Structure 1
Amino acid sequence: MGKKNKKENKGKGKEKTAQKTERKAQKRTKKELAEKGEEDIENLIAEFKKKDKQQTEVVEEKCEPPSPRCSMTMTAHPDKEELIMFGGEYFTGNSMFVYNDLFFYNIRKNEWMKVTSPGGPPPRSAHQAVALHQCGGQLWIFGGEFSSHSQLQFYHYKDLWVLHLKEKRWEKINAPGGPTSRSGHRMVAVKKQLIIFGGFHDNIRDYKYYNDVYAFNVESYTWTKLDVSGTPPLPRSGHVMAAMQDQPRVMVYGGYSKERLKKETDKGKTHTDMFILVPEGRTKDDPSPTKWRWQAVKQTGSCPSARCGLSLTVAPGNRAILFGGVHDENENEEELEGTFFNSLLLLELDKCRWHNISIRGKKEESERKKRRRKVKDEDGEAMAESVECDDEHVHSAEDNLQQLSLEVDTQDEPDSVDTTYDDGIFKVTVGPQGVSADGDGMSELDMDVEIFRPSPRMNTVLVVKNGVLFLYGGLYEEGDKQVTLADFYSLDLQKLEEWNVIIHEDKKLQVWVDSDSSGDDEEGEGEEMEGACGGEEESSSDSEEDMEITFDDAPPFTENESCADYFDRCKDYWTQQARTINEDEHLGISMEKLEKFAKEICASAFNSEKSTK
């Protein structure tokens, strides 16, 4: 008994020491926040919730494309030709901004719609979203993180939300027994369950990575921590995960984690292993299996090199499409030199086999006709007669055939062998030896034609809708500068001819301020911008006089039009001018202040024009 009590007392002593250390750390953090004039992060979230309660109705309005951001989600609408974007974050070099914007992109019309719905989730990034057909369409969101502007404070969520798409109405799900708060996890739908694996929690002083598995039943609204046998993947976040379409199996690949070597020294690890999560027992009639097993699997084909920030989306036929990523040459958390990728990969989920996807390039119409006739001539007289058919019928038949093909190159096939897999959805032709996934994804055939591809990046969002791959944004680094992208592309997976540019990459959208820049200066700039489009004429600042910038190409004013009305009508032009000046003159104006700056230069031009008349 004495030994037992001694052990219990020792355990309590450790607990008290940990609590004392935590209290000291909290005091230290509060002191740092007070010096910076920053409010406690939980108060910031509470203020948002209070402000959100003032919203009483759903507001839908057409808008410009979203501002640059990363770590958001973009999900295909289950029933409409739409994509749904939620949340995300944007870092300016000295400030972090986190969003809870909800956007709908209409694919056919190429239009963006911003939806403001009361009672929604607070701002977050690195969350997960899954769309389901049931009940008129639902968008489920779990977890994520929120950061203060200074990044001295992080808050991780463990809340579950559902957006009822028909009414655009948010509902918070209050169900006990769910995962702990986290971000960087992954979530997929399997039958009537949402399966969540991995993620991490970071409170600046300490961090933890997870490898637990939870399931949420979307019919009974209940959480279950799954009983999983076998050797599990090591704890990680930022991995990719995909559910197979014809069987309740889940693939997990890669990811990132850190381990503490010394008190102030961490070492990062990029994972390259792959696991399959499979249910045990009879699952045919069980929509919500609770017993599962981990299976480590051997990968074949053109396996990608080690990288994190790799993005994945599922395509028909138990295939996944992946893009980008980054590999850090030196992972000591001090001086990281990253190599960014823009290779496009295909993974056969049921075979765990990798392929490189090559974009063929769009051929001229005359070349297509020649190639078609050549193929038909080789098939004999019966096919030769079809060449003489009406051109419209020939084109229609060939287009239908092209829509069934998805051609990829693989590295480990013999040079002289072509292998074809045809499952009725995709006809996958594995051709002669191509390049490895470490390369730029170009085959030798591509060298003759300059084929556009999105630039290298990590953490882009990928989504497939009706056989078309959509790629939006991401980020990369230029020295110490982190560039957040807002470009947008599509690729027909059935033709693989060329990337369609929906929104061009525009580096001028990026606002970057060195971390040692004075925050007071930025605030001063913001104060100068107040009331820029007011009724009284504003005097130009010294910096504007030095610039000597003219706006000869500005949209013309109309008679009896106020400055405010003129700015609203020509907002896109003046916002672009503000971005250009900010970039060229290295003003360091934040995204929040950019519109005010646009109003200021608009007012200056407006008043100057009025004074000359």
Structure 2
Amino acid sequence: MAKKKQPANKQNAKAAKKAKAAAKVEKKETKKIKSSKEEDSDDDLEGILDKFRREWESSHTVTEETVASPPSRRANATLTACPSGNHLWCIGGEYMSSDGKAYFYNDVYRYTPEKNEWRKYSSPECPGPRSAHAVVASPQSGGLLFLFGGEFSSPSQTSFHHYRDFWSFSIATHEWTRIDNGGGGGGGGGRGKGKNVMPSARSGCRMAMYKHHVVLFGGFHDVGIRTTYLQDLWLFDTQEYRWHQVTFPPTTRVPSARSGFSFLPHTHGLILHGGYTKEYPSSVGVKGKPNKSKMVQGIGKALDDTYLLSFSEGLTNAHRMSADPLHPTFTKIKIPASANNTPTPTRSGCTMSFWPRASSSTSSTASAGGAGIGVLFGGVSDREIDEERMESVFWDELWGLRVDSSGIGGLGASGRWVRMGLKVSKKKKKGGGNANAKRDDGGTIALNQGNEADPDDPLLTVPHARYNAMLAILKNTLYILAGIYELGSHEYTLDDFHAINLDKMDGYTCLWKGEVVDEILARVKEREGGGGGDSSSDEDNDDDEDGDGDTDSESGDDSEDEGEDGDEGQGEEDEGATPTENISNTPQPGESLAAFYARTREHWAQRVLQNNDGTIGGAGSADLKPASGGGKMIRRDGFSMAEERYLEYKPTLEGIERILREAGLDDEDIKRGAGAGSVGPGGIVGGGLGGTVSRNRR
């Protein structure tokens, strides 16, 4: 029996030996596979890094091209002098096409005066399209342009949003860098550390540099039918990269809420002048009847007050008005007013540019204490004729504002205006003096004794009257780009470009004529030839006897110009659609289909009734039933119509929501914008001329 078991034991031993050998081979193979995987992992890591590098380079690649002309027609862009003193930078803007569509831009242009050359820069990493933003230049890091805020709307202007993002543009590399919202307050003036410690979303604010701080004030916010103007003061430390808000004691005087003002550097801080705001009275009307239009749209008001914002770091506690480390203080500046030495009447749309090297040897532009002066061109003055008509005067004057440097830290300073007129040659003076006469476009020409215009007269070089022109001063030369002009019920975005040497004041140089001014002149001649003429009275001409303003009366029945092609901001509505349909019944960013239908169901109910020849109830009626059916059919068909419109707009809404998220708005901000039922800035779509105020008066 034992002999029979021996082969089995031998067989088991062989099997164990074979299993051991197989395990050894398997272990070796496993080790080999593991080693191979590690090598593959190393290869993958290198591939990932290479892919990351290529994606980064792609997102930071800056394209540069030379263009043959200034930026395309646009308004509410920024024109900023380079800290190096060699270039001008134009960023963003908007354009209203003849069909009433709004187009916003985010491109960057650079102008080189020595070459009379424009270059365009673009990169994937950049701010979204916008207008009415703020830009300020800083010399640090080879030159930076800081950008904040602005506004953006859909082409039909049925949805409208403000930005609150903050960017820096490197003049050396032409690259944009977004500055995160984080940061903390400092010195008791902030609101604590954490995210979103920065100014709220807004347009029309202004920024200026004080040492290494970006100073921001004011602006407006409007996603509905009411515009909210702001008066908060913020400081951004460019060394610590932090925002904080300055707080003042309740009894401290600060400028009223406003936008579109001038914010200029001064020896003792910054000068704040003018601007625009709106008042919303409970009722405005005649014979005790409320004027609902004014209650909703507000009454626009141009401001002409001036403040010195001083920073008293080195002063004693007796002079300190704030707990902030910089101790900012607003002091109202007294400026003597007179008919001949003040830009009257008060005007808006004329933000000044700072001239730091104003020559003290030139009497018309003398600078006290080397403080420099603010230079103003153009603007618009509005005056209500009655509740239905408004008269607007557009200016082509050049003024200088200077504030002296007397007093401790600028306290007790005073200022004055200086009319910056063109110089007349000695030969012309010997000829016996010239009388001013009106040009066809409302400007001025100088007539000699024989009433013939002198082709060499510098007054003939004055740019057309306008407001919201973009100004910048570089090496004693003022540059004037584009602007807005209104004629009757039409609004024109200008496209010309001019320059004037402020030291010589011997005439303007037209760097780019454009085409729009010729269109305006042709329209003026048509009006005069047709017997319509300008609706300016003799009294208006007396007010404009210096020939510096172009007067136009706007009303709702300017039938001569109504509906013609090629004019700005007056697009036609879709056939069969009312303004209310286009505005109130369009989906908003962040709005769900259910919320959209709930907001607009009355409209769709009436559409269903119209399609079925039913009985139409009044607006807001709770019982809308057609003659041939019940309310269930109305709700079903109405929802289908709303869904169709919602899906039609969905791709556009998704694009807008993406831009808004990139601008720093979260989902709640976007939903709040939708809940406000936005109808365009200021409640006016496409400008709203003809008895109302243009959306550009902000």
Give TM-score, length-normalised by structure 1. Answer: 0.60
1:481 and 2:490 aligned: yes
The equivalent of 1:354 in structure 2 is 417
Asked whether the equivalents of residues 340 and 457 of structure 1 are also in contact (C-alpha less than 8 Å), the reply is: yes
Conserved? CA contact 2:212–2:239, under 8 Å: yes
Measured in 2, the distance between the counterparts of 1:78 and 1:66 equals 21
SS of 1:337 mapped into structure 2: strand
Change (3 A) 1:323 1:54: same
What is the Cα deviation at residue 267 of structure 1?
Answer: 1.6
Which of the numbers 82, 89, 98 marks the counterpart of 2:87? 82
Q: Which amino acid aligns with 1:106?
A: T
Q: Partner residue of 1:57?
A: 61
Question: For residue 343 of structure 2, what is the amino acid of its counterpart?
Answer: P
Tell me which amino acid in the other structure corresponds to 1:254.
G
| Corresponding residue of 1:584 | none
Deviations 1:545-579 (A, max 9, x none): xxxxxxxxxxxxxxxxxxxxxxxxxxxxxxxxxxx
Alpha-carbon spacing, 1:444–1:280, altered in 2? closer, same or farther (3 Å)? farther
Do structure 1's residue 207 and structure 2's residue 227 form an aligned pair? yes
Is residue 320–residue 349 contact of structure 1 (8 Å, CA) maintained in 2? no
Preserved contact between residue 256 and residue 308 of structure 1 (Cα < 8 Å): yes
Deviation at 1:299, TM superposition (A): 0.7
Structure with greater proportional strand content: 1
Aligned residue for 2:332?
296
Q: CA RMSD, aligned part only?
A: 3.4
Give the 3-state SS of the residue equivalent to 1:104 in structure 2.
strand
Q: 1:91 to 1:270 in 2, by over 3 A?
A: same
Structure-to-structure mapping, 1:279-318, within 5 angstroms: 279-282=311-314, 289-300=325-336, 302-305=341-344, 306-316=346-356, 317=370, 318=372
Give the counterpart letter for 1:311 in structure 2: T
Structure 2 partner of 1:43: none
- Kindly indicate whether the alpha-carbon contact (under 8 Å) linking 2:491 and 2:570 is maintained by their aligned counterparts in 1: no
Structure 2 contact 262–274 (Cα < 8 Å) conserved: yes
Aligned with residue 179 of structure 2, among 159, 173, 178: 173
Mapped to 1, the partners of 2:400 and 2:502 lie a distance apart of 11
Aligned length: 397
Preserved contact between residue 344 and residue 441 of structure 1 (Cα < 8 Å): no
- For the Cα contact (< 8 Å) 1:76–1:83, is it kept in 2? yes
How do 1:71-470 and structure 2 match up within 5 A? Answer: 71-79=76-84, 81-93=86-98, 94-176=100-182, 177-228=197-248, 230-244=252-266, 246-247=267-268, 249-262=269-282, 265=295, 266-282=298-314, 289-300=325-336, 302-305=341-344, 306-316=346-356, 317=370, 318-330=372-384, 335-350=389-404, 351-361=414-424, 449=457, 451=459, 452-470=461-479
Which residue type is aligned with residue 201 of structure 2? S
| Deviations 1:423-469, CA, capped at 9 Å, x for gaps | xxxxxxxxxxx9xxxx9799999998452201110000111111111
Q: Structure 1 residues 90, 333: closer, same or farther in 2, change over 3 A?
A: farther
Structure 1 position 164, deviation (Å): 1.0
Give the corresponding residue for 2:597: none
Give secondary structure in 1 for the equivalent of 2:141: helix
Deviation at 1:331, TM superposition (A): 8.9
What amino acid does structure 2 have at the position aligned with 1:103? Y
Tell me, what secondary structure is at the counterpart of 1:199?
strand
CA 1:63–1:331 in structure 2 vs 1: closer, same or farther (change >3 Å)?
A: farther
What SS is found at the alignment partner of 1:308? coil
**Structure with larger Rg:** 2
Q: CA deviation at 1:106?
A: 1.3
SS at match of 1:293: strand
Q: Deviations over 1:323-353 (max 9, x none)?
A: 1110111299964331111110011133421
Change in CA separation of 1:274 and 1:513 when aligned onto 2, cut-off 3 Å: closer
Q: Which moved more, 1:260-269 or 1:55-64?
A: 260-269
Tell me how far apart the structure 1 counterparts of residues 258 and 400 of structure 2 sit (CA, whole Å): 23
Instruction: Tell me by how many angstroms 1:273 deviates.
Output: 1.4
Q: Deviations over 1:372-409 (max 9, x none)?
A: xxxxxxxxxxxxxxxxxxxxxxxxxxxxxxxxxxxxxx
- Note the alpha carbon deviations across 1:175-200, whole angstroms, 9 max, x for none: 33211110111110011111111100
CA distance in 1, matches of 2:225, 2:120: 37
Using the TM superposition, give the Cα deviation of residue 261 of structure 1 relative to its aligned residue in structure 2, in angstroms: 2.1
Structure 1 gap segments, 5+ residues each? 1-51, 371-433, 522-613
Q: Specify whether residues 289 and 491 from structure 1 end up closer, same or farther in structure 2 by C-alpha distance, changes over 3 A only.
A: farther
The one-letter code of the counterpart of 1:352 is: G
Percent identical pairs in the alignment equals 32
Structure 2 contact 490–567 (Cα < 8 Å) conserved: no
Letter in 1 for 2:155: H
Which amino acid is 2:227 matched to? Y
Distance apart, 1:354 and its partner CA: 0.3
Q: Shift of the alpha carbon at 1:92?
A: 2.0
The 3 A distance-change label for structure 1 pair 513 and 227 is closer
Q: What's the CA shift for 1:89?
A: 0.6
Deviation at 1:294, TM superposition (A): 1.7
- What letter matches 1:236 in structure 2? R
Q: Distance in 2 between matches of 1:183 and 1:211?
A: 13
CA contact (8 A) 1:198 1:213 kept: yes
Unaligned runs of 5+ in 2: 1-55, 183-196, 283-291, 357-369, 405-413, 431-435, 437-441, 520-565, 578-698
Are the equivalent residues in 1 in contact too, given 2:85–2:475 (CA < 8 A)?
A: no
TM-score by length of 2: 0.53
> Residue by residue, what CA displacement relative to the aligned partner does 1:254-303 show, whole Å, maximum 9, x if unpaired?
1111122246522222212112212245169x9x9432222122112622
Q: How many angstroms apart in 2 are the aligned matches of 1:501 and 1:84?
A: 19
Task: Indicate conservation of the 8 Å contact 2:65/2:119, yes or no.
Answer: yes
Could you tell me how far apart the structure 1 residues matched to 2:198 and 2:113 are? 35
Q: Secondary structure at the match of 1:135?
A: helix
User: Partner amino acid for 2:241?
Assistant: Y
1:255 counterpart letter in structure 2? G
- How many Å apart are 1:362 and its aligned residue? 6.2
In 2, distance between residues paired with 1:519 and 1:173?
Answer: 45
- Secondary structure of residue in 2 paired with 1:101: strand
C-alpha displacement of 1:136: 1.0
- Return the letter of the residue paired with 1:299: I
Contact 2:94 2:102 survives alignment (8 Å): yes
SS of aligned partner of 2:494? strand
In the alignment, residue 245 of structure 2 is paired with which amino acid?
Answer: K
1:353–1:119 Cα change, 3 Å: same
Corresponding residue SS for 1:515: coil
Give the conservation status (yes or no) of the 8 Å contact 1:226–1:290.
no
Q: Residues of 2 paired with 1:224 and 1:331: CA distance?
A: 45
Which amino acid in the other structure matches residue 326 of structure 1?
V
How far 1:360 moved relative to its partner? 1.0
